[in-house]
Chains A and B, each alone.
Chain A
Amino acid sequence: MDSALIPKGVERCSLKRFLLGQAIVGAVVLWGVYAMILCWMKGLNQTNMNDSFGFALWIWADLAVIAVGGGAFFTGLLRYVIGLKDLKNIINYAVLIGVCCYGSALLILAIDIGQPLRGWFIFWHANVHSMLTEVAFCLSLYMAVLIIEYIPLLLENRQVDKIPFFHNLSHNMHVVMAVFAATGAFLSCFHQGSLGGVSGVLFGRPFAFREGIFIWPWTFFLFTWSAAACGPCFTILVTKITEKITNKKLVKDNVIDLLAKISGWMICSYIIAKTIDTLYWAFVTAPHAGFNVMDFYDDNFWAHGIWILIMEIVICGYIPAIILLREKTRQNQKLLWTAAILATIGICLNRWVLVMQPMSMPVMTFDEWVLYLPSWQEIATTILPIAGGIMVIAFSYRYLPIFPQEQELNPVED
């Protein structure tokens, strides 16, 4: 029924099956929307946040989706600015994943603030010394860049492309895309970094605080580096999942391999820097504030134990780096999957730790650890944009030429 909208030369499932799938995911979206409305109408008492846990699941979700969405800016940088032509076969998808991730972050932020109608104050009354201000500005601007990068794809839909103006617009946007991509990379370096700065500048919170250069704590640089390192892994992971779901090969192995190799080098250099940072923090920064590093992990083992640090750095850092650096292991599909999953978990854990641990640990000697479990409203509103993202990806895959190699890899007998 909708065959006129589907790109030429590719095969898609029946409209009925597509709509059924969308309806199932749509039900999850509706659940999230209900929770979102509850939060907006009744206030943040709908959450399990409290005066100790002012930052909680939502802030983590923001940091995590932006980190994994880093694949968009880094792939864009490699493709348009550095000029790795092979990556043109995955850049569309990286951009699409980026749109979903950044859209999620903005939506969650809009729910997270106590007075959503005053959200614009962050722009209007901007305190330029606050990391969060930098995040808000760069995030919004970069979202605009991502939309600009996504628009040509929308315009390439078979029916839209027939309209001469849209065809020309899409063509012109492709021509100047390098400028947009470079601007996007510039903005991303700052907002990824500022997100790291959000916790790094908290000199009242010894777990989070880091020294640095000028106004930037080390976490500023580590966040940008880790997003550029692990973002492409998430892009690979989502591509692989999409291939599994569609039961088709969508991107050639050499493209994935190139991205995986770059990601491997990036993760390797990042995890070494992260290790140095951790050692300095444990043996210099923490004692300077009067803490033994184990004070940061004491108490409830499963909630705040030292395993988190080992998991983040060794299991989800060094292991994927080693897998991706060696050609032989990188080209083994099972190991590639493992590396992509571990790297994604690793970066999410890093963000988790830097949001949750500083909130839960006592700083005053007579204070106590606080345990936080999110309410269903927080969970639903966190799942909401993920489900929304799945719908956008499914829609885009069906109607837009996202994967330039799909036709060649899956010839249709007509």
Chain B
Amino acid sequence: MKKEHDKVNKKYGMVVDLDKCTGCGSCMVACMSENNVPFKEDESNKLDSITWMRVYKVSNKKPYPNNEVFYIPRPCQHCGGQHEGHSPCVSVCPATATDYDYTTGIVSQVYTRCFGCRYCMAACPYHARYFNWWDPVWPDGMEKYLSPNVSPRMRGIVEKCSFCFHRYQVAMEEVYGSDDKEALEEGDYQTACTQACPAGAITFGDLNDETHAVHKLKDDKNAFRLLERLGTNTKIYYISEREWVRRAGDNYNPGEKTGSVKYKTEGH
């Protein structure tokens, strides 16, 4: 029996040029607005506020004048795992409430299925998963500005970046009548954060499609992924010409060269 995921599928991913990222936070705002992410009156405690896309500020911790910082946007990494589909979170969810879509490589969250055990959060080393500690409440009148394509989530369940999956669905509907039902142009499906980035630091597309920019960018000599050696096999690539920035992407033992340790993953 040939399984659906044995055929060559799309594999959506992102390449972020950290040398271009200014840390402005537009991607975070666009994401929250696009995906109806709830917020609290006081968002100062970042440990219980929801940011599907979060920009970290990282310093080289050297004193002036050698101090340098970089900003790193961190959406869900849409891990493929050591064998396609064995993401840290998908493999542990007891109720099949988080799913790996073999046709797109997108890790989704089934809000109506999740019962809030938070095992996926414990499994994710990127802190990309967020729990709804409170009921989502929007200021009066703001409900009118909610995105009609994204369902708001209820208290007590986990949510995370979906690569704006609803946009993929809309794009697929558009091409459904065409001869090639799978044919999506690069511009047909883009995430909100990608489009919002004023510096053009984020590139999004099908990593398997040669006509998409990400296909080439991911093989850049300065490209790296976060915590690659753990075998999470993520779909978010980062690029930086600065060695210390690339080194910050993973944990290294003394004497190991930056980028020298890669975890071998199936089909990659």
B47 & A52 in contact (Cβ 8 Å cutoff): yes
B135 & A43 in contact (Cβ 8 Å cutoff): yes
A115 to B247, CA, bound (A): 40
- Number of B residues whose C-beta is below 8 Å from A? 57
In the assembled complex, the CB of B136 is this many whole angstroms from the nearest CB of chain A, namely 12
B116 & A130 in contact (Cβ 8 Å cutoff): no
Q: Which one, A269-277, A361-369, A404-412, is touching chain B?
A: A361-369
Residues of A contacting B95 in the complex (Cβ-Cβ under 8 angstroms): 118, 121-122, 124-127, 133
A55 & B122 in contact (Cβ 8 Å cutoff): yes
Given contacts A51-B131, A121-B95, A130-B119, contact A44 B156 (CB under 8 A): yes
A205 to B92, CA, bound (A): 13
In the assembled complex, the CB of B130 is this many whole angstroms from the nearest CB of chain A, namely 5
A127 & B229 in contact (Cβ 8 Å cutoff): no
In the assembled complex, the CB of B146 is this many whole angstroms from the nearest CB of chain A, namely 21
In the assembled complex, the CB of A311 is this many whole angstroms from the nearest CB of chain B, namely 24
Given contacts A44-B156, A54-B122, A125-B96, contact A113 B91 (CB under 8 A): no
Residues of B contacting A45 in the complex (Cβ-Cβ under 8 angstroms): 48, 133-134
Q: Does B199 lie at the interface of the complex (its beta carbon under 8 Å from any beta carbon of A)?
A: no
Q: Which one, B23-31, B183-191, B208-216, B250-258, is touching chain A?
A: B250-258
In the assembled complex, the CB of A128 is this many whole angstroms from the nearest CB of chain B, namely 9
A121 to B110, CA, bound (A): 12
Q: Which one, A76-84, A196-204, A330-338, is touching chain B?
A: A196-204
A44 & B125 in contact (Cβ 8 Å cutoff): no
Given contacts A358-B122, A364-B125, contact A201 B92 (CB under 8 A): yes
A114 & B96 in contact (Cβ 8 Å cutoff): no
A292 & B253 in contact (Cβ 8 Å cutoff): yes
A118 to B158, CA, bound (A): 13
Q: Does B248 lie at the interface of the complex (its beta carbon under 8 Å from any beta carbon of A)?
A: yes
Residues of A contacting B48 in the complex (Cβ-Cβ under 8 angstroms): 45, 50-51
A130 & B252 in contact (Cβ 8 Å cutoff): no
A44 & B131 in contact (Cβ 8 Å cutoff): yes
- Cβ < 8 Å to A, chain B residues 98-138: 113-119, 121-127, 129-135
- Cβ < 8 Å to A, chain B residues 220-267: 226-227, 229-232, 247-253, 256, 261
Q: Which A positions have Cβ atoms within 8 angstroms of B?
A: 43-45, 49-55, 112-116, 118-119, 121-122, 124-127, 129-133, 136, 198-199, 201-206, 287-292, 295, 358-359, 363-367, 370
A-B contact pairs, 6 of them (CB 8 A): A44-B116, A51-B121, A126-B95, A132-B92, A133-B95, A290-B251
Extra inter-chain contacts (14) besides given A52-B127, A115-B157, A202-B122, CB under 8 Å = A44-B116, A114-B114, A118-B116, A121-B113, A126-B94, A130-B91, A132-B92, A204-B123, A204-B227, A204-B230, A205-B123, A364-B125, A364-B126, A366-B248
Q: Which B positions have Cβ atoms within 8 angstroms of A?
A: 45, 47-48, 56, 58, 72, 79, 82, 88, 91-97, 113-119, 121-127, 129-135, 154-158, 226-227, 229-232, 247-253, 256, 261
